[in-house]
Amino acid sequence: MTDRYASFANSGPGRALVTRLGLPRPPRLRRYREGTPPLPGPVLRGGDGRLADAVAAVLAEAKIDVVDGPREGLGALVYDATGLTDVVDLRRLYDFFHPAARSLAPGGRVVVLGTPPGAAGTPAGAAAQQALEGFVRSVGKEFGRGTTAQLVQVAPGVGEGIAATLRFLLSGRSAYVSGQVVTVTADAPPPADWDRPLAGRIAVVTGAARGIGAAVAEVLARDGAHVVALDVPGAGDALAGVANAVAGTALQLDLTAPDAPARLADYLGARHGRVDVLVHNAGITRDKTLARMSEEAWDAVLAVNLTAPERVTAGLRAAHLIPAGGRIVGVASMAGIAGNRGQTNYAASKAGVIGWVRALAPALAADGVTVNAVAPGFIETEMTARMPTLLREAGRRMNSLAQGGLPVDVAETVAWLASPGSAGVTGNVVRVCGQSLLGA
């Protein structure tokens, strides 16, 4: 659905009017397009922590220019804060960012690399590292013009494991991801081909017939995966269209059926022998206030959104179809973090996905399998297009980027988490919400 306000606000007459009235002006976001440079300008690096060599290697391999001082048109600011071991060291953030704060080109990126506070070694070190979270989230709300800001907490001893995450956060693929804290706990070898990191891999995407699921299927296929697009039989025609468009296969299956996990395991075992990427995207809403909600509406939402991912994953694991290097990504929601009026069932199910991911990640780490979640905010889909106008406009504007995201924004985040280079990223919940002003 077209965001008419954003289009008007970026027109000549509209730009002048919204500025005069003090209204939000949604920036034009810099999204990934094949053949375009990863950044709109060079990177300015700072900090004297333990990741200097690793950051330099990533930027060199990605062919990103680096400059040694502030200048107009910077593409990104990257600061290695792992060397901050005391609260007095926080002054270094001001010294680096203050002169460069107005130098970023539109769509610029800010990435701060830190240490998990629990691994800082001292209370003062933990305080300094925790302070980075408040700093980064504030920068994401201040810099404007489509700038995003992220904190990457890198465990001691990790170096090359940051490559996939740093590339993603600096690129147009992360256009609607801002104010996030990502933890990298292990090293990972880079993919053989950064343009097709999923080549040769089998990916299953549930709820793939439309919206976010269709976008995920498209992006995973672009990155080289063979996609098994799965949805309910009632969506068969749309599902076939998605599968054909990505040169994948379509599988009609109701995941709430008692035998669904076994049927899916049999299908994947016979056709492919494994599943390398499992994306639990299927989800439904049955919105009513709790006092007016039927038990059928409660049960249906929990069954599709939460119980099905649990059962399907357990079934595929029992059949030994998720190999080492496997990736599991659950689609949660900002509703599961902040709650929503009229969505007690939906919010409970999506919060449950977050809890499930966080508990499952350490359990599967020994098998070399990662488990993460994405939590979309307001995304422009058929569902949000049906919202009342005032609620839809509030959803679009109540974030640091002052606009709704697109299904591809969620899909790009899923693809990053699915990459072989993201082996050290597990147990994370990444919001794709333009840094929503609601929730954590």
DSSP annotation of 280 = E
SS3 76: strand
CB 188, CB 325: distance < 8 Å: no
From 433, 268, 248, select the one nearest 334 (Cα to Cα). 433
- Cα distance between residue 411 and residue 428, in whole Å: 16
Query: Of all helices (H) and strands (E), which one includes residue 220?
Result: helix 211-222
Query: Of all helices (H) and strands (E), which one includes residue 202?
Result: strand 202-206
- Cα distance between residue 196 and residue 224, in whole Å: 5
Query: How many C-beta neighbours within 10 Å does residue 158 have?
Result: 19
CB 187, CB 404: distance < 8 Å: no
Query: How many C-beta neighbours within 10 Å does residue 36 have?
Result: 12
- Cα distance between residue 386 and residue 282, in whole Å: 19
- Cα distance between residue 333 and residue 148, in whole Å: 20
Query: How many C-beta neighbours within 10 Å does residue 399 have?
Result: 27
- Cα distance between residue 204 and residue 207, in whole Å: 10
Q: List the structure tokens of 8.
A: 């008007």
- Cα distance between residue 50 and residue 208, in whole Å: 42
Q: Which residues are catalytic?
A: 346
